[in-house]
Structure 1
């Protein structure tokens, strides 16, 4: 009886040690080369996008499986994919170093894109920590060079992955969600008439 109590206490201690820890994942797209515009001609404008330094470094924690959590840096992870998506739609894309770069004299930038990223994750598994479900909403506020509002576009994505799929890529549901969000962002940008005026 005493041995069973000791073993139970050890099992609970090990469980407490591992429950609640945040495992790092990345939320970049599955394949950025597959993020393509449907049209053959880009919008003939030079645009800049700006990610604030504090956003670039921001780490987010959301739900995983087995009581654990996952952590990631959505702005840093999505930056290359966002550049790719914007480059599919606009003639020239620049990553801005400051929010007021477009307003500087002589700047070729006609539009400024300010992305905000919202994420959520969960898992149907009590035994494995990677999320089986991940959702992402990429909201891009678009202004002119002077800062006046032009439009707002969104790309929303959801990703799902089961154990057999994610055992070699713990980020798979997040990668699938991001891929879908960026593809949908391209479609939304192409369809918005305010960006062509």
Structure 2
């Protein structure tokens, strides 16, 4: 009986003290859905920025058996994150330093995107430390050339793992959560239907010659009326026709 108490005491101390096990939660690239070649990505180019201090940030969250797990969320997700951006946009550039939004156009970019990640984990198991559940809260801040946030899509990815799976791959729940978050973010970015800001300028340019043509036609109409070559009724009817063509 005394020996049993000693073993129980050791087990309790171990559970309370716990330790942090390092795991890898990088998503499986093969599980990131590629879009069809016929997809219209609206010729948008983006730059993404992840500060170096975030890439080297190691996070500790709960595992099972009173232990914790350690991992690098930004470093692990980056390759998959860039894959998602490349699926959605025609051009993707990794920015190495803090964005200077005034130079966005000079760099050939339409927008700058910066991800923010919050993770959590846990386990229903007491005797093994790899987590059985994992969540990835992923948000993107999308800024235009003025540095203004024009959109901030946010998704939450969830991953789970059975006992046999997490014993062979300690980070499997985390990897599944990363894949789920990236899949949902890809859908969210597609739903935004961002177009290049320059498209608005091209729209204005295409309207300008038309506006000039209307002004010219109205001028000719006024000249005909001034020379009494058309009646007042004909003038008004033709004037309405020209204005309705705008």
- Residue 12 (structure 1) aligned to one of 9, 14, 23: 9
Equivalence map 1:28-67=2 (5 Å): 28-29=26-27, 31-38=28-35, 40-67=39-66
Q: Distance in 2 between matches of 1:89 and 1:81?
A: 13
Contact kept in structure 2, 1:111 and 1:142, CA below 8 Å? yes
More helix by share: 2
- The higher relative CO (CA closer than 8 Å, separation ≥ 6) is in 1
Deviation of residue 99 (structure 1)? 2.0
Q: Distance in 1 between matches of 2:51 and 2:9?
A: 43
More strand by share: 1
Which residue pairs with 1:79 in the alignment?
78
> Over alpha carbons, which structure has the higher Rg?
2
5+ residue gaps, structure 1:
none
Equivalence map 1:154-169=2 (5 Å): 154-169=154-169
CA offsets 1:73-98 (integer angstroms, 9 cap, x no match): 10011111110110100001111011
TM-score of the aligned structures, taking structure 2 as reference length: 0.72
Deviation of residue 146 (structure 1)? 2.7
Which residue pairs with 1:186 in the alignment?
186
Which residue pairs with 1:130 in the alignment?
130
Which residue pairs with 2:141 in the alignment?
141
Which residue pairs with 2:25 in the alignment?
27
Q: Distance in 2 between matches of 1:15 and 1:84?
A: 45
Structure 1 runs of 4+ off > 4 angstroms? none
CA offsets 1:122-142 (integer angstroms, 9 cap, x no match): 100011101100011110010
TM-score of the aligned structures, taking structure 1 as reference length: 0.89
5+ residue gaps, structure 2:
197-246
CA RMSD of aligned residues (A): 2.0
Contact kept in structure 2, 1:155 and 1:183, CA below 8 Å? no
Report the number of matched residues. 192
SS at match of 1:44: coil
